[in-house]
Structure 1
Amino acid sequence: MKLRINSNSLRYRLTQTDVANLFKEGCIKEKVNFGNNELVYVLQGIVDKEISADFKNNIVTMYIPKIMIDELVNTNKVGFENNNGELKLLIEKDFTCLDNVAEDQSDNYPNPLAENNYAKRQ
């Protein structure tokens, strides 16, 4: 799971394994170590209708309704978004990049633009 923060926007990008584990376990988490501190980010399934988030004790938690988790697993739905006050929230599948990158993308979702020969036209 990748965490992207930009201004007042919070985005979680999920690999195929992330989505499978979220479906199976109902929760996934990662952490970033900063010496004596760590930032933990969590995606937690809930029984609700909207995506929401909070930040407490160095833990960023985004909550996703279980029905949306089911859609990520069983449909071609790419992601979901919502506003939590002024904070924009986005949860999406992580697609392979069309450019050559050094990052391991073996667990990312196939990029639909690659199927349209997008990379060849560039």
Structure 2
Amino acid sequence: MKIRIKGNSLRYRLTKTDVERFSSEGYLEEKTIFGTGELVYALQLYDEGRLSASFDDNKITLFMPKQMAGDWAATDRVGFEETNGPLYLLIEKDFVCLDNVAEDQSDNYPNPLLSKQAS
């Protein structure tokens, strides 16, 4: 799971394994260590409502409704977005990059633009 923050925009990207694990367990968490501190970011399933987020004790939690999560894991839908007050939230499947990058992308979803480039 990756996180991207820019201004009041929060985006989570999940690999195939992340989506499968979240679908079965209802919770994912990653940590980034900063010297003696850490930033935790998590994705948590909850019963109903809309995408929402909280920030408490250096932990960002994005809450995803069960219905939304079930549809996401079982379909080709890329993601969901929501405006929550001043905060824009986006959760999406992580595609293979079109550019050459050093990171391992073997667990990413196939990029739909790759098939268009081959045409």
TM-score of the aligned structures, taking structure 1 as reference length: 0.94
Structure 2 counterpart of 1:11: 11
Structure 1 counterpart of 2:90: 90
> Which runs of at least 4 in structure 1 moved beyond 2 Å after TM superposition?
none
**CA displacement, residues 3-58 of structure 1 (integer Å, 9 cap, x when unaligned):** 00001100000000000000010000000001111000000001112000000000
Secondary structure of residue in 2 paired with 1:116 = helix
Give the 5 Å matches for 1:1-122.
Answer: 1-117=1-117
- Give the counterpart letter for 2:115 in structure 1: E
Measure the CA separation in 1 of the matches of 2:17 and 2:63: 18
Measure the CA separation in 2 of the matches of 1:29 and 1:59: 10
Equivalent pairs: percent with the same residue? Answer: 56
Measure the CA separation in 1 of the matches of 2:67 and 2:19: 13
Measure the CA separation in 2 of the matches of 1:49 and 1:111: 30
- Give the counterpart letter for 1:72 in structure 2: W
TM-score of the aligned structures, taking structure 2 as reference length: 0.96
Measure the CA separation in 1 of the matches of 2:68 and 2:22: 11
Gaps of 5+ in 1: none
Measure the CA separation in 1 of the matches of 2:67 and 2:108: 22
29-38 or 64-73, which moves further after superposition?
A: 64-73
